[in-house]
Chains A and B, each alone.
Chain A
Amino acid sequence: MANDRLLPAWSSQFTPEAIRQLTAMGPLAEITPEWAWGQSRGAGVRVAVVDSGIEHDHPALEDSVCGGVAAVYDERYKGKARFEADDPPHDLSGHGTACAGIIHFISPEAELYSVRVLGRDMRGKALQFAAGLRWAIEQDMGVVNLSLSTSREEYFALFHQITDQAYFHNVVIVSAVNNIPAPSYPSLYSSVISVAAHEGHDPFTYYYNPSPPVEFGAPGIDVRVAWKDRQYLAMTGNSFAAPHISAIVALIRSKHPELTPFQIKTVLLACAANTHRS
């Protein structure tokens, strides 16, 4: 995408006056939240949080964190990244813990895995990110939460290939859109579920936007989150909207393991708060 003009803020499509009311027709109208995730607690679904790490012993996470790795930039390795064990995982900034906390709150029995791809090393950030994402796909994670992205055009094809690989590999990738009104990847690909923030706070109230690229809006403004050093903060950003959808996907996958990524996106559309049944 040409980066020659400013795009509107992605979250502006989810302000109360901008949300469009949709109608589910035919069999789609039979899909309800109760059918999709009622009574589900996410059991048996593995969720990877590709981020700054996860503080495994944060009280908000209880015992949900099951393992983790860290991708480190290293030119000697394939993909210019190698993996270090990070088990039990820790978090550098708190951002990954925030995402994990949201997922655990909504999907308490999902198993969380930390894939740390952020660090002090400013070189090769996108390649660490790509390696971490690949790792999650190769591990057959049910859901991958990406509350980060790259805006570097030269990695457009690389991330496109990886997310297509995930799509065909039955791995659902949930990707927060850029907080800056500019393109970023992989959030703009159709093979992922892209998420921006809306102002609401009910964790199960999300909206579908029929004018993509950003498809879903979930709570992301003044969200109370877990943070590094066993603390809590109120945070704002699309980063915190994506884990809401990741968690709901985990609930759906737990209850309906037969559903593929595109079917899950359809279920999400049918259960969106702005979708009405005819």
Chain B
Amino acid sequence: MDRSNSEEDPRLAGQLRRLLLSMEASGRAILPNSNQDLLQSIVEAAARIFSAAAASIALVNEKQQTLEFKVAYGEGNEAVVGMQIPLDKGIAGYVAMTGQPIAASNVQRDGRFDQEFAQTTGYVPRSILAAPLLSGDRVIAVMEVLDKIDAPSFGMQDMELLALFARQAALAIKQSQQIGQIGATLVQGLQQLAESGSAEEAAQLLPLLEKAEGEGEDREDIYRLAASFNRIASLGDAERKACLQILSAFADYAQSRKGF
């Protein structure tokens, strides 16, 4: 993944901050331990950021040529999880085939796009925005957000933002898969940065990090870590940038630590 092209983008920084805030508001750890929890957090955050009634992630299974819905949020979520559709079918299939995001509206009224599938979930959307989760140029999953709450359809800006969000989600999934216990690794990585004294903001994290490490994977500390990030980000551009640089440096550290 080309991480370097995203962390310092101001729009993305704003989105990340909103993501962190929304996750904190929902009482979730910023980086859950299990892959399933991570995916669930991502769809919930996506639904909130895009003011969508529902959201889902379907993973590409190249061997079976299918898209399998792994997590969903919102109406019909229980029915959709576990469902499989052909890799080339419908809007999700188009995204999987091309790696391009796409938006459709008036789905219920004007078409029967995936209507058969939608009806089995008991939920027929009015609008869909779908974007790929990419690993390099390979589509590993398709994220969909359904039914924009305050507008009849998703626009180009939503599409761009979802594509950026999906990029971060794909990175998170990849890191989660590679690192496993990413929460603990995050704390360790940040602690080393804090000890190095490379940034004032990082030093502020030290007492918290020490406590976090002392209590292992205690989620309370992860929440407080998220709160710390948010406080730093709310101080201003320079602080937010420093915060993002720390995250970026951590990612580099984690990669070098794991030797890939």
Residue numbers of A with Cβ under 8 A of B are 3-6, 9, 11, 52, 92-95, 118-120, 122, 125, 148, 150-152, 178-181, 197, 220-222, 224, 227-229, 231-237, 239
A222 to B137 Cα, complex, angstroms: 28
A239 to B60 Cα, complex, angstroms: 23
A236 pairs with B160, CB closer than 8 A: no
A28 to B176 Cα, complex, angstroms: 58
Q: Which B-chain residue is minimally distant from A227 (CB atoms)?
A: B111
If the complex has contacts A122-B138, A179-B100, A231-B111, are A5 and B89 also in contact, measured as CB distance less than 8 A? no
Using A6-B11, A234-B104 as known contacts, list a sample of 9 further A-B pairs with CB atoms less than 8 Å apart, ordered by residue number in A.
A5-B9, A9-B157, A92-B89, A92-B93, A95-B98, A119-B88, A120-B87, A179-B100, A179-B160
A122 pairs with B139, CB closer than 8 A: yes
Find chain A residues with CB under 8 A from B159 CB.
179, 236-237
Return 20 A-B CB contacts under 8 Å, by A number: A3-B2, A5-B9, A6-B9, A9-B157, A52-B94, A92-B89, A93-B97, A94-B90, A94-B113, A95-B94, A118-B94, A125-B97, A179-B100, A179-B102, A181-B164, A222-B153, A233-B105, A233-B110, A234-B106, A236-B153
Could you tell me the dominant secondary structure of chain A's interface residues? loop
A15 to B139 Cα, complex, angstroms: 30
Instruction: Digitize B83-120: 1 where CB-to-A-CB distance is under 8 Å, 0 elsewhere.
Output: 00011111101101111111111110011110000000
A92 to B86 Cα, complex, angstroms: 10
A122 to B97 Cα, complex, angstroms: 7
CB contact between B103 and one of A92, A180, A228, A235 (< 8 Å): that residue: A235
A180 to B10 Cα, complex, angstroms: 17
Shortest Cβ distance from residue B138 to the other chain A in the assembled complex, whole angstroms: 7
Confirm or deny: B184 has a beta carbon within 8 angstroms of a beta carbon on chain A: no
Q: How many residues of B contact A (CB 8 A)?
A: 47
Residue numbers of B with Cβ under 8 A of A are 2, 4-6, 9, 11-12, 60, 62, 65, 86-91, 93-94, 96-107, 110-113, 131, 137-139, 153-157, 159-160, 163-164
Find chain B residues with CB under 8 A from A125 CB.
97
If the complex has contacts A122-B62, A221-B155, are A6 and B164 also in contact, measured as CB distance less than 8 A? yes
Find chain B residues with CB under 8 A from A93 CB.
88-91, 93-94, 97
CB contact between A236 and one of B2, B93, B155 (< 8 Å): that residue: B155
Find chain A residues with CB under 8 A from B2 CB.
3-4
CB contact between A9 and one of B93, B105, B137, B160 (< 8 Å): that residue: B160
A120 pairs with B65, CB closer than 8 A: yes
What are the 7 tightest A-B residue pairs by CB atom distance, in nearest-first order?
A: A236-B103, A231-B111, A233-B111, A93-B94, A180-B163, A234-B106, A92-B88
A222 to B153 Cα, complex, angstroms: 8
B97 pairs with A180, CB closer than 8 A: no
Q: Which B-chain residue is minimally distant from A8 (CB atoms)?
A: B160
Find chain A residues with CB under 8 A from B138 CB.
122
Find chain A residues with CB under 8 A from B113 CB.
94, 227-228, 231, 233
A13 to B65 Cα, complex, angstroms: 38
A236 pairs with B104, CB closer than 8 A: yes
A239 pairs with B102, CB closer than 8 A: yes
Shortest Cβ distance from residue B229 to the other chain A in the assembled complex, whole angstroms: 21
Find chain A residues with CB under 8 A from B131 CB.
180
A235 pairs with B104, CB closer than 8 A: yes
Q: Which A-chain residue is minimally distant from B115 (CB atoms)?
A: A231
Find chain B residues with CB under 8 A from A11 CB.
156
CB contact between A221 and one of B60, B87, B156 (< 8 Å): that residue: B156
A180 pairs with B111, CB closer than 8 A: no
CB contact between A3 and one of B5, B9, B89 (< 8 Å): that residue: B5
A9 pairs with B156, CB closer than 8 A: yes
B160 pairs with A180, CB closer than 8 A: yes
A181 pairs with B110, CB closer than 8 A: no
If the complex has contacts A3-B5, A9-B160, A197-B156, are A151 and B94 also in contact, measured as CB distance less than 8 A? no
